[in-house]
């Protein structure tokens, strides 16, 4: 696994400790290996793998290819594009939850790049342009924009919203099927890059058939994820405006996660902000919906 870099084990400037878990074994692909550091920005997306008989629960971490200017690590090259973290002493649920949050927040994008772990020469890791399924990507980008537009229009009427939500679930079903059908022709790397599209839509960990099997469970989970994106704009619409604290209390989530949901909805154009001495409030984005 060539994405690893040597590290002292101490926190760099601009790094904070999110979570520490003992007894985690790292597999390079399917092979058991020992451990060091991977930058969060190298992660495309993560999946859970349930425990089995004689097998610990695992988190599969899919990675971008190693950048050419990466600091030295234990391996020069690897045929695998993912690592597995095997939780021998449990703790995978909380670890997964925290890692998911970090993947949604993407705090490293706002930080100045740490000198010792990364140099900024050449293309930035994690920003590799997608190739290979450009045609599908473009069509889906158009569909995504249309879907965004649909969401904006739907907020005036709750019943319309339900119809749109159903349409969105159908859309993601068809996307999922497209992936499945092309599985033979599309490389795993391309599939991963496409899934990072979903990541940019706010689905931090797209449900996959590997994690949820097929059928009703899979579609229900997908609908749940999509509903997660629609939740913030919906609640704000109902109440007129909300702060992070109010939203968190309303839906029963941490203020941190509530804020991330609101910021994501703002990024997608569903909400706008009112920043005053009274605090930060989010409103439905009437700039886009009113004439």
Partner 1 sequence: MAMSFEWPWQYRFPPFFTLQPNVDTRQKQLAAWCSLVLSFCRLHKQSSMTVMEAQESPLFNNVKLQRKLPVESIQIVLEELRKKGNLEWLDKSKSSFLIMWRRPEEWGKLIYQWVSRSGQNNSVFTLYELTNGEDTEDEEFHGLDEATLLRALQALQQEHKAEIITVSDGRGVKFF
- Which range binds partner 1 by CB under 8 A, 89-97, 170-178, 187-195, 276-284? 276-284
- 288 contacts partner 1 (rule: CB under 8 A): yes
- Name, in order, each residue with C-beta under 8 angstroms of 255's C-beta and a sequence gap of 6 or more: 244, 245, 248
SS3 82: strand
Alpha-carbon span 133 to 179, nearest angstrom: 11
Task: By CB under 8 A, tell whether 276 contacts partner 1.
Answer: yes
CB of 230 to partner 1, least distance (A): 17
Q: Is 73 in the site for partner 1 (CB under 8 A)?
A: no
- Is 197 near partner 1 (CB under 8 A)? no
Q: Which stretch binds partner 1 (CB under 8 A): 75-83, 116-124, 219-227, 278-286?
A: 278-286
Least CB distance from residue 89 to partner 1, whole Å? Answer: 43
Question: For residues 231 and 229, what is the distance between their CA atoms, to the nearest angstrom?
Answer: 6
Is position 272 an interface residue for partner 1 (rule: CB under 8 A)? yes
Task: Report which of 149, 147, 154 is spatially closest to residue 168, judged by C-alpha positions.
Answer: 147
Cβ burial, residue 64 (10 Å; 0-12/13-18/19+): buried
Q: Taking the complex as a whole, how short is the minimal distance between the CB of residue 168 and partner 1, in angstroms?
A: 20
Element (H, E) at 87: strand 82-87
Nearest to 208 by CA among 189, 195, 224, 190: 195
243 torsion bin: left (phi>0), alpha (psi -120 to 50), beta (else): beta
Q: Give the SS3 label for residue 23.
A: coil
The two structure tokens encoding residue 198: 């979903």
Q: Is 156 in the site for partner 1 (CB under 8 A)?
A: no
Closest approach of partner 1 to the CB of residue 239, in Å: 14
> Residue from 19, 69, 267, 279 that binds partner 1 (CB under 8 A)?
267
11 DSSP 8-state letter = P
Q: Does position 273 bind partner 1 by CB under 8 A?
A: yes
Whichever of 27 and 283 has its CB closer to partner 1, that residue is 283
Closer residue to partner 1, CB minimum distance, 30 or 275: 275
- Does 30 sit near partner 1 (CB under 8 A)? no
Name the residue among 3, 14, 135, 19 with its Cα closest to residue 63: 3
Nearer to partner 1, 65 or 269 (CB): 269
DSSP 3-state of 80: coil
110 in contact with partner 1 (CB under 8 A): no
**Given the complex with partner 1, which of 240 and 252 has the nearer CB atom?**
240
Q: How far apart are CA 198 and CA 201, in angstroms?
A: 5
x/- mask, partner 1, residues 205-244, rule CB under 8 A, reads: ------------------------------------x---
Q: How many Å apart are CA 215 and CA 67, to the nearest integer?
A: 38
275 sits near partner 1 (criterion: CB under 8 A): yes
Q: Is residue 109 close enough to count as binding partner 1 by CB under 8 A?
A: no
| Residues making contact with partner 1 (CB under 8 A) | 241, 266-267, 269, 272-276, 281, 283, 285-288, 290
């Amino acid at each position: 696994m060539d994405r690893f870099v040597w590290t002292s084990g101490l926190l760099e400037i601009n790094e904070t400790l999110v979570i520490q878990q003992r007894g985690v074994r790292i597999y390079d692909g399917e092979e058991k290996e020992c451990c060091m550091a991977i930058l969060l920005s190298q992660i495309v997306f993560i999946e859970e793998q349930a425990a089995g008989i004689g097998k610990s629960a695992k988190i599969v971490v899919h990675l971008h290819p190693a950048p050419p200017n990466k600091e030295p690590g234990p391996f020069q090259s690897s045929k695998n594009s993912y690592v597995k973290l095997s939780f021998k002493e449990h703790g995978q649920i909380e670890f997964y939850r925290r890692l998911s949050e970090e993947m949604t927040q993407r705090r490293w994008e706002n930080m100045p790049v740490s000198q010792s772990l990364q140099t900024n020469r050449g293309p930035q890791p994690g920003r590799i342009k997608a190739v290979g399924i450009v045609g599908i990507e473009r069509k889906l980008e158009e569909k995504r924009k249309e879907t965004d537009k649909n969401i904006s229009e739907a907020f005036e009427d709750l019943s319309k919203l339900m119809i749109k939500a159903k349409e969105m679930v159908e859309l993601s079903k068809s996307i999922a099927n497209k992936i499945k059908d092309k599985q033979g022709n599309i490389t795993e790397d391309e599939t991963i890059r496409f899934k990072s599209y979903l990541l940019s839509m706010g689905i931090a960990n797209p449900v996959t058939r590997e994690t949820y099997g097929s059928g009703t469970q899979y579609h229900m989970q997908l609908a749940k994820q999509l509903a997660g994106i629609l939740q913030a704009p919906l609640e704000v619409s109902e109440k007129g405006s909300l702060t992070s604290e109010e939203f968190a209390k309303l839906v029963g989530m941490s203020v941190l996660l509530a804020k991330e949901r609101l910021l994501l909805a703002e990024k997608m154009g569903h909400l706008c902000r009112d920043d005053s001495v009274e605090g930060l409030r989010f409103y439905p984005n009437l700039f886009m919906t009113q004439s």
